[in-house]
Structure 1
Amino acid sequence: MKVYAYTPADGSHWLPAQHYESLGQCGGKHYFAIPDDAVIPEQPGEIGFAPVTDPVELRHVVDNAPYFFRWRGSADLTAEAAKVGIVLE
């Protein structure tokens, strides 16, 4: 499981968003929890769709994304957070 983010731009949104679990929106970005084996179709470059790898940004998501609480107990997301030094209770 990885956390991905994108920034809506000029009305462009991440097209398959309805197929994945939203972690919510914070800091102007939309965040999603996406399984490692998911095949993600190409997206418009202007939305900046990408995995979240920066520990500061991931900590911000953990602390502020409105729906993150649904994933706190997920072993996959706990392991992903641990890779960047974040311990989820």
Structure 2
Amino acid sequence: PGIRITPTVQGADASVQVTTWHDGEGEVSIEWLDAAGNTVATGKGPDITLTIFNAHLWNGVKDPYLYSCKARLVVNGTVEDETTTRFGV
């Protein structure tokens, strides 16, 4: 699937909108991971918004913290495609 990530900081939290697109059948599942690889949020659907509570903000060279967003295209219970994109908040 293709993926577009739009983070918005709201106080200590971050609202992250993920828009995905693909040709054909299947359902898209989304998993957000912190820099250590721990899951911080999950969701399903082509256009979802989830919250990362107490988000670690990206601060350029001083603190270049990046999250990862993994999108999987699942057809009949089988992962047919997967892409991962790193992003800062």
- Scaled by the length of structure 2, the TM-score of the pair is 0.30
Flag the structure with larger Rg: 2
Higher normalized helix content (fraction of residues): 1
TM-score (norm 1): 0.30
